[in-house]
Structure formats: structure tokens, C-alpha cells
């Protein structure tokens, strides 16, 4: 299953709107400008997604995941290199906390960041397609490329993979957003994209 | 050769879907407008060098120079061009930067309403 050029473009633009909203929310939290972009959408099999993450410079990750259910279901996951995660938390809570205090706060802060970014992306899909999702609470975990949840399970799943570039207070942070979808869910997503494009007279 | 009296709108966006959406909505409500497209800021500057559009709809986050920078460069040479920033970057800092650059801010997603807002600015 693959996306044609217009479907990929549409999905990229919808997520672009989502991360734009997330950046606005995060900028209110850190009281500074946040540049957040998701330049490219890739659709890959689960094993390939792991390889992309393995190709990242660091292989210790901080992840936040949330499940969304609706006309199609997705397990959404925000993945940052672990060293970046602590930096994001420091930027959120200010420079006055010690490393120990920051570490204590990390789980909660990462859940909040994940909640903002993942919900912004899914809300963008929901608004454009006029659909509704229910979501679980965000779950924060540490992991490496060998025990990330995307490697688990037998079910054939597709992964929508977005590289995220975030710049807060001159700190450049690269992460990934992953959406795991079963084949029927991916097919339902593509149907929604096609219906949307068709309703706009673009397909 | 006589100058074409039909207004020229330049749509600058790296998303093909966004360009198509703006084009479709504008063509519907302003069928006499001429429409050109560019997929990044550098291409926009090349088009502007040949014929300065009356109106420009400019995305911000694109490969190469940002839409804000492209808009700023266009405004220096063509202060009469009316430019909207049509962007998903809805932060206050971007709105302020748009105001400083003398361009109108329109938040994505692109809808009939957001394009109508841009058209109202162009024609004001």
C-alpha cells in the first residue's frame, strides 16, 4: 500500500497545519518562539520504520505514545533522542531546576509535549475530514531501537513516519512522529484523503 | 504591448494541494484573475522579476528562503504588491513579523473563508 503524490502532499500539508498548532501551544509554554516543522511524510512497513530510527545519530529514545480510535485507528508516537528530551524539559520549566529535579519532572513534561503534538496532528486530520477520534492518555517510556513498541507484534502494520525539526530558544531538536495503522485503517485513511480531495474538486 | 489589465495573483506554496486549493477557490470567485504558481521563495522571486504580480499569497515554511524573507525582498522592490502570508505557523511571533513586513496574515487551513479574507485584503 502506498500513497500517490497528491495523497502524500495532502497528508503532509494536513500534518503541517497540525504541527503549526502544536508549535503555537508550545511557544506559549516556553514563552518563546518555537519552530516546528514536519517536512516529509513517509509510509513504510514497521521494520523499515525501525531502520529509519536506527539510522538516527543516537539510539536511546524518549517516547510518548497515545492511541486514537475513530473511523480509523492509529497508535501515535513521538520519539526524541533521550538527550534532547531533557533539554526540551529544561526549556519548558526554565533554567533554575537542577538535573535531578529535571529528571523527576521529565515524564510529566514529555507526556504534556507528546499530548500537545500528537493531538494537534490528529485534530488536524479530524477537522479536515470532519471526523472524531477518542484518545487514550499519553504514556511516556524510555527505550532504544531494539525495544521500541513499533518492533512488537505480529499484525501487519503500516507506519506513517514524519521527521520533526524543532527549534526552541536556538536549540535544534530532531525527532520523529510515527503513526502505526493496521492495513484496514491505512486503507480507511486513504479513502478519507481521496474523499477530501474530491470534495475540494482536486481529484 | 499593452499591460494586461487582469490582476495577476502569484500563489507561493511548497504544497501542491495548497496551491491547487487556492487556485480553485480564487478561480471560482474571481474568474478574470490570472494565476501563477511558485513552489518556493526563490522561484517566486524569479517570477516577480519578470512581472510583479498585483497580489501574492505566500506560505512561510518552505525549502530554501522562508516566505517571510521572500515577502520582505519583494516589498523592497515592489512596495505596491499586496502580499498575504498564508501559513500554518500561527504563532504570535509570526503574526508580528508579518505586520512588521507590511503583509497580511492568513492562518491555514486553506478554506473558502481564509481565501475570501485574503481576497478582501488584496482588493481593499
pLDDT of residue B53: 97
ipTM field: 0.72
Beta bridge partners of A145: none
Q: Chain B window 64-103: which residues touch A at a Cβ cutoff of 8 Å? A: 87-93
pLDDT of residue A145: 65
Q: Under an 8 A CB cutoff, do A13 and B91 touch?
A: no
Query: Domain B8-123: which topology?
Result: Rossmann fold (3.40.50)
Lowest mean per-residue pLDDT among A24-33, A121-130, A179-188, B59-68:
A24-33
Question: Min CA distance, A166 vs chain B (Å)?
Answer: 13
Helix A82-93 and helix A5-30: axis angle, to 10°? 50
Architecture of domain A5-198: 3-Layer(aba) Sandwich (3.40)
With helix as H, strand as E and coil as C, how does A112-135 read?
A: HHHHHHHHHHHHHHHHHHCCCCEE
Which one has a higher pLDDT value, A148 or A131?
A: A131
pTM of model > 0.90: no
Query: pLDDT for A163-172, tens place per residue?
Result: 888 888 788 8
Angle at A89 between CA A168 and CA B62, to 5 degrees: 25
- pLDDT higher than threshold 70 for residue A151: no
A contact test, residue of B68, B89, B106, B107 with most A CBs within 10 A: B89
What rounded mean pLDDT belongs to chain A? 84
Question: Min CA distance, B93 vs chain A (Å)?
Answer: 6
pLDDT of residue A56: 60
Q: Using CB atoms, which residue from A10, A23, A24 is nearest to B17?
A: A10
Question: Min CA distance, A46 vs chain B (Å)?
Answer: 27
- Residue with the three cell numbers 479530524: A126
Question: Min CA distance, A141 vs chain B (Å)?
Answer: 29
Per-residue pLDDT band for A57 (boundaries 50, 70, 90) equals low
Q: Under an 8 A CB cutoff, do A33 and B91 touch?
A: yes
What would the grid cell of residue A42 be?
513517509
What is the DSSP code (8-state) at residue B54?
Answer: S
Query: pLDDT for B54-78, tens place per residue?
Result: 999 999 988 899 999 999 999 999 9
pLDDT of residue A40: 80
Q: Using CB atoms, which residue from B17, B61, B90 is nearest to A37?
A: B61
Amino acid at each position: 500500500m502506498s500513497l500517490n503524490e497528491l495523497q502524500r502532499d495532502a497528508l503532509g500539508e494536513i500534518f503541517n497545519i497540525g504541527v503549526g498548532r502544536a508549535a503555537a501551544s508550545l511557544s506559549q509554554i516556553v514563552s518563546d518562539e518555537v519552530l516546528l516543522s514536519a517536512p516529509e511524510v513517509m509510509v513504510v512497513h514497521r521494520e523499515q520504520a525501525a531502520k529509519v530510527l536506527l539510522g538516527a545519530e543516537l539510539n536511546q529514545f524518549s517516547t510518548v505514545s497515545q492511541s486514537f480510535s475513530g473511523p480509523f485507528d492509529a497508535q501515535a508516537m513521538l520519539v526524541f533522542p533521550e538527550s534532547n528530551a531533557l533539554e526540551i524539559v529544561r526549556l519548558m520549566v526554565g533554567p533554575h531546576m537542577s538535573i535531578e529535579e529535571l529528571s523527576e519532572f521529565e515524564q510529566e513534561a514529555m507526556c504534556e509535549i507528546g499530548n500537545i503534538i500528537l493531538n494537534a496532528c490528529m485534530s488536524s486530520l479530524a477537522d479536515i475530514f470532519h471526523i472524531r477520534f477518542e484518545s487514550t492518555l499519553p504514556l511516556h517510556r524510555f527505550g532504544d531501537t531494539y525495544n521500541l513498541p513499533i518492533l512488537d507484534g505480529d499484525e501487519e502494520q503500516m507506519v506513517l513516519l514524519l521527521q520533526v525539526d524543532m527549534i526552541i530558544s536556538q536549540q535544534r531538536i530532531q525527532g520523529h512522529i510515527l503513526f502505526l495503522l493496521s492495513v484496514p485503517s491505512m486503507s480507511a485513511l486513504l479513502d478519507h484523503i481521496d474523499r477530501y480531495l474530491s470534495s475540494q474538486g482536486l481529484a | 504591448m499593452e499591460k494586461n489589465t487582469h490582476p495577476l495573483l502569484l500563489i507561493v506554496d511548497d504544497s501542491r494541494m495548497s496551491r491547487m486549493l487556492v487556485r480553485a477557490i480564487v478561480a471560482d470567485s474571481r474568474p478574470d484573475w490570472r494565476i501563477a504558481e511558485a513552489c518556493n521563495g526563490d522561484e517566486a522571486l524569479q517570477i516577480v522579476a519578470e512581472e510583479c504580480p498585483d497580489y501574492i499569497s505566500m506560505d512561510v515554511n518552505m525549502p530554501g528562503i522562508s516566505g517571510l524573507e521572500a515577502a520582505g525582498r519583494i516589498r523592497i522592490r515592489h512596495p505596491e504588491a499586496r502580499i498575504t502570508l498564508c501559513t500554518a505557523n500561527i504563532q504570535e511571533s509570526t503574526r508580528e513579523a508579518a505586520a512588521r513586513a507590511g503583509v497580511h496574515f492568513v492562518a491555514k487551513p486553506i478554506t473558502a473563508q481564509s481565501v475570501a479574507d485574503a481576497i478582501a485584503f488584496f482588493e481593499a
